[in-house]
Structure 1
Amino acid sequence: MKTINTRFGEVEYDPSHVIHFPEGLIGLDQLKHFLVMPNQKQGPLFWIQSVDDPAFAFVVTDPTNFFPDYAVLPDAEERRKLEIDENGTCFVLAIVTVSQNKEITLNLSGPILYAPETKKGLQVVLEDPRYDIRTPLPKVE
C-alpha cells in the first residue's frame, strides 16, 4: 500500500488499482496515474484523483446517466492504446464542471475511455458538433 496527501486527506491506495493514462489527459499530459475515489454520497458522480500530482482531482460520470443516446466506441487505434480487442470492455466517462453560477456541464467532446481489464485510460476528442466541452445537463420537465 502507498499513501498520498490529497484534498480528501491522506489516502492509502493499492498501486495495482491505479488507472494508467499513457498519454495523460488533454492539457495535462504529465498526469498519467489516477485513483478512483470512493463516492461518499449516493449518485452518479465520483472523483478520479491524480497520483502524480495530488492537487489534481476531477469529478466524472457516466454520460449516459444524462444523455441516454450518447455512445462512443473506441476505434482500432484507441483499442490498441487501451490494450483491448473488439470484445474488450470499455467504459466511457465525462469530466463534470460546475460553474460559479452552479451550472453543471459535461465534457462530451472529450470523453475518457477506460478499460478495466488493463486499467488503462485514454481521453479522446470527438469531431461531433452535437457535443461541446461544456454541454449543459438536459432540462428536467
Structure 2
Amino acid sequence: MKKIQTRFGEIEFDPAKVIHFPEGLIGLDNLKDFLVIPNEKQGPLFWIQSVDDPAFAFPVTDPTNFFLDYAIAPDAEERKKLQIGEKDDCFVLSIVSVGEDKKITLNLSGPILYSPETHRALQVILEDTTYSTKTPLPEVKNKE
C-alpha cells in the first residue's frame, strides 16, 4: 500500500488499482495515474484523484445517468491503447463542471473511456458531435 496527501486528506491506496491514462488527460498529459475517490454524498458523482499531482482532482459521472441516448464505444485504436478486445467492458465517464452561476455541465465531447479489466483509461475528443465540453444537464420537468 502507498499513501498520498490530498485535498481529501491522507489516502492509502493499492498501486495495482491505480487507473493509468497512457496519454494523460487533454491539456494535462503529464498526469497519468489516478485513484477513484467515492463522493461523500450519495449520488451519481465520484472523484478522480491524481497520484502524480495530489493537488489535482475532479468530479466525474456516468453520462447515461442524465443522457439516456449517449453511447460511445472505443474504436480499434482506442481498444489497443486500453489493451482490451472487442467484447471487453469499457465504461464511459464525463468530467463534471460547476460554473460560477452554479449550473452543472458535463464534458460530453471529451469523454473518458475506462477499462476496469486493465485499469487503463483514455480521454478522447469526439468529432462531428452536437455535444459540447459544457453540455448542461437536462431540465427536470415537474410532474403536476
User: Do the two structures share a fold, i.e. TM-score over 0.5?
Assistant: yes
* TM superposition shift of 1:97: 0.1
SS at structure 2 position matched to 1:105: strand
Aligned residue in 1 for 2:124: 124
In the alignment, structure 1 residue 55 sits paired with structure 2 residue 64: no
Which stretch shows the higher mean deviation, 34-43 or 68-77? 34-43
Q: For structure 2, which runs of at least 5 residues remain unmatched after alignment? A: none
Deviation for aligned residue 1:41? 1.5
Deviations 1:76-104 (CA, angstroms, capped at 9, x unpaired): 00000000010010000000000111000
- Residues 42-81 of structure 1 mapped to structure 2, 5 A cutoff: 42-81=42-81
Superposed counterparts of 1:1-141, under 5 Å: 1-141=1-141
Aligned length: 141
Taking the aligned partners of 2:139 and 2:105, their CA distance within structure 1 comes to 12
Percent identity, aligned pairs only, is 73
Q: Which runs of 5+ in 1 are unaligned?
A: none
Distance in structure 2 (CA, Å) of the matches to 1:36 and 1:24: 16
Amino acid at match of 2:15: P
TM-score (norm 2): 0.96
Does structure 2 retain, via aligned residues, the 8 Å contact 1:109–1:128? no
Is the 8 Å Cα contact of residues 37 and 48 (structure 1) preserved in structure 2? yes
Measured against aligned partners, the alpha-carbon deviations of 1:10-61 in whole angstroms (never above 9, x if no partner) come to: 1111101100000000000000000000232110000000000001101000
Q: CA deviation at 1:75?
A: 0.2
Q: Structure 1 runs of 4+ off > 2 angstroms?
A: none
TM-score by length of 1: 0.98
Contact 1:48–1:60 (CA under 8 A) maintained in structure 2: yes
Partners of 1:93 and 1:85 in 2: CA distance: 19
RMSD value, Cα? 0.6
